[in-house]
Amino acid sequence: MSQKPAKPAPRQDAMQKQKEQELIAESGIVAATRGSHTIHCLTVIGTIEGHSFAPDNQKTTKYEHVIPQLVDIEEDPEIEALLVILNTVGGDVEAGLALAELIAGLSKPSATLVLGGGHSIGIPLAVSARRSFIVPTATMTVHPVRHSGMVLGVPQTMRYFEQMQERIVSFVSGHSGISAERFVQLMHNTGELVMDMGTVLNGQQAVDEGLIDALGGLGDALAYLYREIDNAR
């Protein structure tokens, strides 16, 4: 007779649940869902923190915390897919691009879901997965590269900003349905924002522009990942 697998002891189960709750509280991480497939949920919220610290009163996503998670997702055979949930105002350009490149390079099925906002450098992250979703009430702000603090008013500085912007445009146009020309046009729009140039897109507009693949919510993103996992078997 085949034996049924032993259930975890109540104490072990309680300790595991406590550990998971601490992980959620500290890092906003859900190690894996317990549905029909094992999907890692990664949240990107607030400001994406890179080489310098954000102000203490800001919620942040620290890229040095996210990078090891992405490596673990790729290496762990038990994790079958990645779901990235975004509600971010943007942040460090190089840190955001680094995370976007890592997500795009995963060999496992991946999906992103934009809730609330996916602004600035959050846009490359939003398009980095194999399939991107956005809820109708979310917005995405497309604008040129900015820099806080002192800069030198010399041609070399302008060229540096142009190169950084070209990297963003190249990544976004390469991982979504929007052309580089149209994305730059949205960046340089002067008729919408009062104190800046750029464009604010709601969920439907982001899909219409080809920036995001589809309108949808959590159920749609999970359903896509389930299909991709089943098709890969």
- For the whole model, what pTM was predicted? 0.82
Q: Are strands 60-62 and 39-49 parallel, antiparallel or unpaired?
A: parallel
Whether the predicted pLDDT of 154 surpasses 70:
no
Tally of CB atoms within 10 A around 77: 6
Average pLDDT for the chain: 85
Whether the predicted pLDDT of 8 surpasses 60:
no
Between CA 228 and CA 63 the distance in angstroms is 27
Please name the residues in contact with 124: beta carbons below 8 A apart, sequence gap of 6 or more: 96, 97, 100, 168, 171, 172, 175
* Active site positions, annotated: 120, 143
> Which domains are delineated in the chain?
36-232 (3.90.226.10)
Tokens of 211: 């920036």
At residue 128, φ and ψ (nearest 5 deg) are -75, -25
Tally of CB atoms within 10 A around 98: 17
Q: What percent of the chain has pLDDT over 70?
A: 77
Q: Is 79 exposed, middle or buried (0-12, 13-18, 19+ CB in 10 A)?
A: middle
* DSSP type of residue 5: P
At residue 187, φ and ψ (nearest 5 deg) are -60, -40
Dmax over CA atoms of the chain, in Å, equals 80
What is the band of 1 on the pLDDT scale with cuts at 50, 70, 90? very low
Whether the predicted pLDDT of 19 surpasses 70:
no
Q: Return the minimum-mean-pLDDT range out of 11-15, 63-67, 90-94, 208-212.
A: 11-15
pLDDT tens digits, 61-105: 888 889 999 999 999 999 999 999 999 988 888 899 999 999 999
Residues in the chain: 233
Q: Strand pairing partners for 44?
A: 86
